[in-house]
Amino acid sequence: MQVGKASESEEQEWTMNRTPGQYFDALFVCTDDKYHVYVNGEHFTDFNHRCGVPDVSHFHVQGNMDIKDVEYFEPLEDDFVKQIPSGMEKGDVVVFKGFMRPGGDVFSVNFMTGYTADSDIALHFNPRIGEGQVIMNCCTGGDWGEEEKADIPSVIAEGKPFEIKIVTKRNKFKVYVNGNKCMKFDARLNVEDIKGIMVKGEAFIYQVKLERKLEKPVVESLPFGLREGGWIVVQAIPKKGSEGFAVNLCCGEDDDCDVAFHFNPRLQENCSIRNTFSGGDWQEEERDQPCFPFEKKETCEIAINIKSDKFVTYVNGEHYIDYNHRLSLDSSSCKRNWHYYYHTRISSPYTAKTIGLYIINL
């Protein structure tokens, strides 16, 4: 990979140290004088502008790699408010993505009972770099309650890209930063009364997203079938008391349809079972694995990449396991009616809350 430096006559080669099949996330941030490049959340390099930013109109990706997704974001306005007219629900997850402004010190996220700054605040999440702390609090009738404090996550303090997930429970909030547990806050107001989320301060926030659990069983049709290079991404939280959950790639919606890929993490066994169901019979299970990356009540992202000869599965951005095809993607049964089927039966001990489903490049 070549990245330009200070002048057009100088270029320097940078090695990304990526091995074939390794999953990575690249973020390009355009500021007034340069592009900042981050790979997997770590600063990689900077590139000074050589032409006017308004002249840039296309994004071109080339090379020998599979692209899962490309997204373009602009920073949200300060005092941005995301409205939730129906109110928040137990199990909702709110995701914030961004990074600190150069020289920035503080920003805040407020879960409010209304849409204006004078509304009661059920949750005030306030990182303060200068103090090295995150402050959490509640404000009712203009009066602030007692503060709760925790050490500020290093990714925020160091100005790196961050992803904040706030998980809403019946009587508390749980906060994760870049996948790591940060702190929790006992709810002092009713969660159902939260109608707006305000973001303000010295940070560039480019995405605020509400993820709401899907009703099970979740069935999503793949109108063009499974194609080589395609991705299926599932975001879920294994429930308290859960023994596990299952993700099935099926050749239909019927209970007895063929299942090309059965991916079944079992939390009590600390093992992910893989198998295929064909002609009414289960085949031989596969159980070998490098680790077991799932925990009860912890968010997880499962990304399945379809190759010509196998399914490649990643969990939380890390390569996990491969599963060779036992049913051909071109077989008549699979080609006729491919479905993604997130599968939980009422009588089954396998339970999890699905909060996101994405089918990409299919």
- Whether residue 338 is predicted with pLDDT greater than 60 in this model: the reply is no
Structure confidence at residue 149 (pLDDT): 96
Q: Are 263 and 247 in contact (CB under 8 A)?
A: yes
Q: Are 125 and 220 in contact (CB under 8 A)?
A: no
Is the preceding peptide bond at 349 cis, omega within 30 degrees of 0? Answer: no
- DSSP letter for each residue of 170-236: SSEEEEEETTEEEEEEE-SS-GGG--EEEEEESEEEEEEEEE-PPPSSEEEE-TT---TT-EEEEEE
* pLDDT tens, residue by residue, 1-50: 333 344 444 455 566 666 676 778 888 988 888 898 988 888 889 999 99
- Identify which of 28, 97, 20 has the alpha carbon closest to the alpha carbon of residue 61: 28
- Asked whether this chain's domains 80-211 and 218-360 adopt the same fold, the reply is yes
Structure confidence at residue 12 (pLDDT): 55
Top-tier CATH class for 80-211:
mainly beta
* Kind plus residue range of the DSSP H or E element containing 320: strand 318-324
Burial 3-13 (b: 16+ CB within 10 A, else e): ebeeeeeeeee
- Domain positions in the chain: 2-55, 80-211, 218-360
Structure confidence at residue 177 (pLDDT): 94
Structure confidence at residue 343 (pLDDT): 39
Structure confidence at residue 185 (pLDDT): 97
- Whether residue 296 is predicted with pLDDT greater than 60 in this model: the reply is yes
pTM for the model stands at 0.70
Percent of the chain, pLDDT > 70?
84
Say which CATH architecture domain 218-360 belongs to.
Sandwich (2.60)
Q: Which band of pLDDT confidence, cut at 50, 70 and 90, is reported for residue 335?
A: very low
- Identify which of 200, 208, 96, 104 has the alpha carbon closest to the alpha carbon of residue 158: 104
260/224 Cα distance (integer angstroms): 16
Q: Which band of pLDDT confidence, cut at 50, 70 and 90, is reported for residue 349?
A: very low
- Identify which of 125, 55, 132 has the alpha carbon closest to the alpha carbon of residue 96: 125
3-state helix vs strand vs coil in the chain, percent to 5: 5, 50, 50
- Whether residue 360 is predicted with pLDDT greater than 50 in this model: the reply is no
191/87 Cα distance (integer angstroms): 8
Q: How many helices (H) and strands (E) does the chain have?
A: 2, 28
162/159 Cα distance (integer angstroms): 8
271/276 Cα distance (integer angstroms): 17
* pLDDT tens, residue by residue, 77-105: 888 999 998 899 988 999 999 999 888 99
How many residues appear in the chain?
362
Residues in contact with 161: Cβ distance below 8 Å, sequence separation at least 6, in sequence order? 27, 29, 38, 41, 97, 98, 99, 155
357/340 Cα distance (integer angstroms): 10
Instruction: Assign residue 92 a region (left: φ > 0; alpha: ψ between -120 and 50; beta: otherwise).
Output: beta
| Rg of the chain over all Cα atoms, to the nearest angstrom | 23
Q: Which band of pLDDT confidence, cut at 50, 70 and 90, is reported for residue 188?
A: very high
